[in-house]
Amino acid sequence: MATILLSDFHYMKRFAAACVDDINKLKCGRLDPKEKKGVQQGSTIECLSKHVRELSSECHLQTLRIAEMQADDYHLDRAVYFACRDNRENFCQQIFAGDGRVYRCLMNNKMDPTMSQECREQLTRLQKLISLDFKASKGLVKFCSDDIKKYDCDMGNNKQKAVQLSRILACLENAIHKGENTKFIFLLLPEL
């Protein structure tokens, strides 16, 4: 279902309505509401995510929501998938997709000299999105969700706004300094 959702703007009306002006302004592709057949829009989503800080507030939010959906499985992020599929076979062959595992593996190997430049660039794009919305990191959300809720690190987020990663990390670090027992410290381990 997520693949269908991400492949055709017809299924993404809120995203399309919020981003049509930004798509045109940034020349991120073509959005024709009269188009009846499905059109792969991965390059449009990639373009918007590269310019996420320049987007209107509603398009910014919708672009981050797409990053959240893509965070579960690298197959859902067309740009990362195509740029990194050889690297995935090289570094992460034994890693099953889902729960952000392939992303974590690729990120752990990002600075390896044999990783392709294209894959590094896409991983950097993804890291920028994660810095703007912690939910674009499936591993962090899955591993630390209890602590994030317990210490109110999302500051009562009502799902209308993205929460920056720096806020989450500062909150969890603050809990550690207060002597609280959190899982946050284990995020540094590559097996996560």
The token pair at 178 is: 């207060």
CB–CB of 83/115 below 8 Å? no
The pLDDT of residue 32: 53
The pLDDT of residue 156: 59
The pLDDT of residue 183: 62
Residue 168 identity:
I
Tens of pLDDT along the chain (192 residues) come to: 455 555 555 557 788 889 999 999 999 886 555 444 444 577 888 999 999 999 999 999 989 988 888 887 888 888 999 999 999 999 999 999 888 889 989 999 999 999 999 999 999 999 999 999 988 887 778 778 888 888 888 765 555 567 888 888 888 888 888 877 666 554 443 443
Q: Which of 157, 164, 116 is nearest to 140 (CA)?
A: 164
Separation CA 121–CA 13 (nearest Å): 29
> Other CB atoms closer than 10 Å to residue 166's CB: what's the count?
11
Torsions phi, psi for 74 (to 5 deg):
-65, -15
pTM > 0.95: yes or no: no
* DSSP string for 124-152: HHHHHHHHH-GGG-HHHHHHHHHHHHHTT
Q: Which residues contact 57 (CB under 8 A, 6 or more apart)?
A: none
Task: Break the chain into its structural domains and give their ranges.
Answer: 1-70, 72-132, 136-188
Separation CA 92–CA 73 (nearest Å): 13
Angle (CA) 174 178 183, round 5°: 65
- The CA–CA distances, whole Å, from 116 to 82, 86, 95, 106, 127 equal 11, 9, 19, 11, 17
Residue whose structure tokens are 């020349």? 27
Angle (CA) 118 119 121, round 5°: 65
The residue count for the chain: 192
